[in-house]
Amino acid sequence: MLSELYIKNLAIIEEAAIPFSDNFNVFTGETGAGKSILINGINAVLGQRITKDIVRAGCDKAVITALFTELSDNVCARLDELGIAHEDRQLTLTREVSSDGGSIARVNSRASTVSVLREIGECLVNIHGQHDNQILMDPEKHLSILDSYGDLEAQAEDYRSSFRQLQEVSRKLKKLTLERREQQEREQLLREKITEIGSLDISENEDEAIEAEYKIAQSSEEICSSLNEAYSFIKGIDDSDVPGAIELISNACDDISSFSDTVSSMKSLSERLENVRVELDDIASEISSEIDKIDIDAERYAYLSERLNDLNRIKKKYGPELSDVLDCYNKASEEISRFESSSDEIEEVIKTREQLLSCVSDKAKQLSAARAEAAERFSAQVEEELSFLDMPNVKIKASMEKGKLTAAGMDSVEFLISTNAGEGMKPMSKIASGGELSRIMLALKNVIAEKDNIHTLILDEIDTGVSGRAAQKIGIKLKSVSAHQQVLCVTHLSQMAVMADNHLLIEKQTRDGRTYTSVHKLDFEERKREIARIMVGENITDTALKNAEELLLNGDKI
C-alpha cells in the first residue's frame, strides 16, 4: 500500500509529507486548493507523462517520493524479475522534474528509468478518475473485467499459452509451406538440370577425346590422301609400271649382293639395304593400318560434330569445364534428396497444428462456458450493488457473442444496460450519464475488489454528478472496498468524507504574495469543522457543526 507521499516544490505545494492509512483515505478542500496537484504528483512518481509546468515557480526542480509498504506477493515477484530489492516488503519510488523539462527516476534511491517506474506503478496503484469511466464505454475492456470477476485469468492465460503455441506452429507451417513452394520451383529447375545433363550420359574428360577425334575427322580426307601417296611411294602403284621404294631397294640389294662374295665390303652394304627394305615394309603396313583407322564414314563424322556441339553447349551453360558440369549434376541430385525430407517435416507440422487446433478449440469452449456462467453471476451481483447505490431499476447484462478463435478466446463481450424499467438493453455508451457511470464503475470495483491484485485504488472525484442519498451510499461502498484495498479518494461531498478512516485536508494560503498549499491529517474536531464547511460553506454555525458530528458518528447508517 501507499504509506507516505513526500512532495517538494510541486506547483503551489512547497513541501508536504502526507501519511496514509491502509483502508479509506479522503482528500477534501476548497476548489483550487490543490487536490488535483496531489493526483498529478502520484501520477508523476508512477512514471506517467508530466510537463515542466508542475515545478513550482522560481524553483529548479520538483521532487515527489512515494513509500510503499506491505507489498503483495505478485508485486514482489515482479520486482524480483526486474532485479529490484524490496527489503521488509518496502519500496521507495522518486521522480525529480527539473524546470527545464528534464526528469530523473529513482527506485530505492538508485537511478532508474521512467519506464521502470511506470511498469512498477502499474502493479501498485490503480488510479480512477472521471475520464477512466471510459473503460465502461470500451467493449474491448469488458472481457478482461469479466475474467477478473470470474477468477478466470489463469484459465484464460492457459488458453492464451496454447493459442500462442498454435500461432507459432501456424507461422512455422506457413513459413515451411512458402519455403516448400519455393523449393518446388527450385526442384523443378534442378530436375530440368539433372535431366538435361543426365540425358547426355557424359563421361569424365569425354570432351577432350571427342574434340581430338573430331579434329582428325575434319582432316581425314587430306590425311588419307597423303598416307595413300606415301604408301604408293613405298609399295608402288598397282596396275602401273612405276616401282615403289621397296622394289627399288630390293633391286639395289640384289645388284650389290651379287658381288658380295667378290668384294667383301659389298656384303655389309647388302645387309644394310635389306634392313631398310624390311623397315620400309613395316612402315608401309603401319601406314595401311592408319589409313584404315582414319577412314571415318559420314555417319561417324556427323555424330562427332553433334556430340562436340552438345558438350560445348552444356559446358557453356554449367561449366566452364566438363568436370564443373558433372559436379553441378551431383550437387543438384543431393539437393533434391534434401527437399524430400522437408516434405516429411511439413507433414509433421500439419499433424501438430491439427492437434493444437483441437486442443485450443476445446479450451476456448471451456473458457466460453465458464465466462457464460460468470456473466450471469456478474450481472446479478452488479445489479445488487447498483440497487444499493439508488439505481434499483438498472439492469446490466454481459452480452457474449461467439466468433473465430483469437488470443482472447472465441468470445466478444459487451456490457449492455437498461436504466429504466421496461426499456430494452443497449450499449452502455449510448445510455449512461456521467453520474450513472461513476456509480456503475464503483459497483464494478466493489464486486471485483477481493479479486483485484492491485492493492491501492485512487479515485479522483468519483462523486461527480451525484449527491444526497446516492453520495452517502457511494461512501459506504468505498468503505466496503477499503476492507480489501487501500482507497484514496478526492471528494467534494460530506456524505463520502465522513466515511473515511483517514481524512486529509488540502488547504491553500497566501503569504508574502505567494500561494502555498498544505496537507495535514485532521483529528475529530478538525473533521467536524471541515465537514460543516463542505455542507454550508464558510459561514459555519453551531447547527452545522452538530450535524457534522452526527454524520461522523453515524454516517454509515442509512
Residues 6+ apart with CB under 8 A from 456: 1, 2, 68, 124, 125, 126, 485, 486, 488
In a domain, 320, yes or no: yes
Of 317, 334, 351, the last residue of a domain is 334
Residues 6+ apart with CB under 8 A from 49: none
Largest CA distance in the chain: 183
In a domain, 171, yes or no: no
In a domain, 388, yes or no: no
Task: Say yes or no: 15 and 49 in one domain.
Answer: yes
Task: Say yes or no: 479 and 546 in one domain.
Answer: no
Q: Quote the pLDDT of residue 365.
A: 95
Task: Say yes or no: 238 and 314 in one domain.
Answer: yes
CB burial readout 454-491, b (16+ within 10 A) else e: bbbbbbbbbbbbbeeebbbbbbbbbbbbbebbbbbbbb
Q: In terms of pTM, does the model score above 0.75?
A: no
* Distance, CA of 534 to CA of 522 (rounded, Å): 14
Task: Say yes or no: 7 and 98 in one domain.
Answer: yes
pLDDT tens-place values along the chain, 558 residues long: 999 999 999 888 888 899 999 999 999 888 766 677 888 888 899 988 888 888 888 889 999 999 999 998 888 988 999 899 989 999 999 999 998 888 899 999 899 999 999 999 888 888 775 555 566 677 888 898 899 889 898 999 999 999 999 999 999 999 988 888 888 888 888 888 889 988 898 888 888 888 887 887 777 667 777 888 888 888 887 666 778 888 888 888 888 887 777 777 788 888 888 888 889 889 888 888 887 777 667 787 788 889 889 899 999 998 899 999 999 999 988 888 777 666 778 889 999 999 999 999 999 999 999 999 999 999 999 899 888 888 888 888 989 999 999 999 999 999 898 888 878 888 876 765 666 777 777 787 778 766 667 788 888 767 766 777 778 888 888 888 888 889 998 888 898 899 999 999 988 888 877 878 888 899 999 999 999 998 988 888 999 999 999 989 886 554
Residue 500 backbone phi and psi in degrees, to 5? -70, 150
Task: Say yes or no: 264 and 226 in one domain.
Answer: yes
Task: Say yes or no: 548 and 507 in one domain.
Answer: no
Of 300, 334, 368, the last residue of a domain is 334
C-alpha cell at 265: 665390303
Residues 6+ apart with CB under 8 A from 246: 234, 235, 236, 277, 280, 281, 284
The number of beta carbons lying within 10 Å of the beta carbon of residue 300 is 13
- Domain with 503 in it: 1-129+447-518
Domain count, the chain: 3
The burial of 218, by beta-carbon neighbours within 10 Å (0-12 exposed, 13-18 middle, 19 or more buried), is given as middle
In a domain, 489, yes or no: yes
Task: Say yes or no: 74 and 195 in one domain.
Answer: no
C-alpha cell at 405: 478463435
Residue 17 backbone phi and psi in degrees, to 5? -120, 115
Do 62 and 55 meet the contact criterion of CB atoms below 8 Å apart? Answer: yes
Query: What's the chain's Rg over C-alpha atoms?
Result: 52
How far CA 330 is from CA of 197, 314, 327, 437, in Å, comes to 10, 15, 5, 76
Of 314, 334, 354, the last residue of a domain is 334
* Distance, CA of 155 to CA of 147 (rounded, Å): 9
Residue 488 backbone phi and psi in degrees, to 5? -120, 125
In a domain, 421, yes or no: no
Beta strands in 69-174 (DSSP E): 91-98, 103-107, 110-112, 125-128
Which residue is listed with cell 484495498? Answer: 485
Which residue, among 492, 461, 491, 507, has the nearest Cα to 14 in the 3D structure? Answer: 507
Q: Quote the pLDDT of residue 497.
A: 92
Q: Quote the pLDDT of residue 435.
A: 63
* Distance, CA of 382 to CA of 446 (rounded, Å): 9
Task: Say yes or no: 469 and 536 in one domain.
Answer: no
In this structure, are strands 486-490 and 456-460 parallel, antiparallel, or unpaired?
parallel
Task: Say which DSSP state 239 is in.
Answer: T
How far CA 242 is from CA of 233, 252, 285, in Å, comes to 9, 16, 20
Sign of CA dihedral 63, 69, 75, 81: positive
In a domain, 160, yes or no: no
DSSP string computed for 168-190? HHHHHHHHHHHHHHHHHHHHHHH
Q: Which helix (H) or strand (E) holds 85?
A: none
Task: Say yes or no: 201 and 283 in one domain.
Answer: yes
C-alpha cell at 165: 503455441
Task: Say yes or no: 540 and 466 in one domain.
Answer: no
Task: Say yes or no: 536 and 502 in one domain.
Answer: no
Task: Say yes or no: 204 and 298 in one domain.
Answer: yes
In a domain, 148, yes or no: no
Q: Quote the pLDDT of residue 555.
A: 63
For the domain that residue 507 is a member of, what is the CATH number? 3.40.50.300
